[in-house]
Amino acid sequence: MPKTSVPKLSRRGFCLCCVGVASLGVAGGWLSPREAFAEAHQLVNMIRGAAAKANITTHKLRGNVFVLEGSGGNIAVFAGQQGKVMIDAGITATRPKIEKALNAIGKQPVTHLVNTHWHFDHADGNEWVHAAGAKIVAHENTKKRLMETQRVEDWDFSFPPSPAGAIPTETFSEDREVEYEGCKLHFVCYEAAHTDSDIGVHFVDQNILHTGDTYWNGIYPFIDYSTGGSIDGKIAACAKSLAIADNKTIVIPGHGAPVSNKSELKAFHDMLVAVRGNVARLKGKGMSVGEVAAARPTADFDKHWGQFVITPGLFTQLVYEGV
């Protein structure tokens, strides 16, 4: 892969989580900060443009729970009698299409928006959803991160503080159960995994688990070390989700095909464990990141998992950083 190649847009939408990874070279070839900065800006604009044109696909799951696919991360929606609950808000540029999809589900307003973590492709829409009347609920670290400038080193990119209307109005830092619009939700606090602000949301009666970006379905994931993520935290988060799920659970990943299940989540967990083991063993011999990537520690998994913007070399770098 040429070092400045731009990840291609896929029908699964494009994720900001992947932006900076394009600024990482494969097998140790890093872009200069200036090149990476220029590329990150170009990609942010590309994401905004892609989100503006994105089509939203609505999947009906069960028990009045839906998932909207196409604007950043996968968005879950519960439609109650009087109001809706949204899990993540996608990218603002897609607002008209998200509103259309929400209205097609029902005319009731969104009363609660839950963020799975602070990243742009999940929380960018906070401001408009809040202005339309919703409370914003999130892990306290999501609030903290949205209130301050966030520097993501692997993207060579700084995000300014979010506007006041986008800041979560209710926060928590331990697992909790709530009931919104007659829907019982279990907020699952993961240890720092993809970021330090990750939660999962279990729709208890419908047995549907939105994992946020702790799980990407069928693709190598991004890990945001700059805001607290780690490979070991990702593995622990998947283990926690697996303990909650059973064979009937519908699992909604942060990215990738939006309707998944426990066995696919287990395969993701097992892939993380195996790659972590391979990379740790090679790094333990004193090998550089380039040498480890050249030894192809992901080879057994690339055919299935390496087909999206996080390439095998990039994923190896992300794991290397954390072992």
Interacting residues toward Zn ion by CB under 5 A: 17, 119, 213
Q: Take residue 290 and report the two structure tokens written for it.
A: 């380039």
CA pair distance 316, 320, nearest whole angstrom: 6
Nearer to Zn ion, 17 or 209 (CB): 17
**Residue 119 Cβ, how far from Zn ion at the closest point, in Å?**
3
Nearer to Zn ion, 156 or 213 (CB): 213
- Whether residue 28 contacts residue 17, with contact meaning beta carbons closer than 8 Å, is answered with no
Nearer to Zn ion, 119 or 143 (CB): 119
**Residue 248 Cβ, how far from Zn ion at the closest point, in Å?**
27
Nearer to Zn ion, 110 or 193 (CB): 193
Q: Take residue 52 and report the two structure tokens written for it.
A: 């503006």
Nearer to Zn ion, 39 or 213 (CB): 213
Max Cα-Cα span within the chain = 60
Nearest Cα residue to 200 out of 215, 210, 213, 208: 210
Write the CA distances from 184 to 63, 133, 260, integer angstroms.
12, 21, 21
Nearer to Zn ion, 154 or 213 (CB): 213
**Residue 17 Cβ, how far from Zn ion at the closest point, in Å?**
4
Q: Take residue 217 and report the two structure tokens written for it.
A: 């379905």
Nearer to Zn ion, 191 or 291 (CB): 191
**Residue 222 Cβ, how far from Zn ion at the closest point, in Å?**
7
Task: Provide the β-strand partners of residue 210.
Answer: 201, 252
Nearer to Zn ion, 115 or 311 (CB): 115
**Residue 229 Cβ, how far from Zn ion at the closest point, in Å?**
9
**Residue 104 Cβ, how far from Zn ion at the closest point, in Å?**
27
Write the CA distances from 106 to 81, 82, 265, integer angstroms.
9, 10, 31
**Residue 147 Cβ, how far from Zn ion at the closest point, in Å?**
18
- Whether residue 105 contacts residue 77, with contact meaning beta carbons closer than 8 Å, is answered with yes
**Residue 264 Cβ, how far from Zn ion at the closest point, in Å?**
19
Nearer to Zn ion, 17 or 188 (CB): 17
**Residue 214 Cβ, how far from Zn ion at the closest point, in Å?**
9
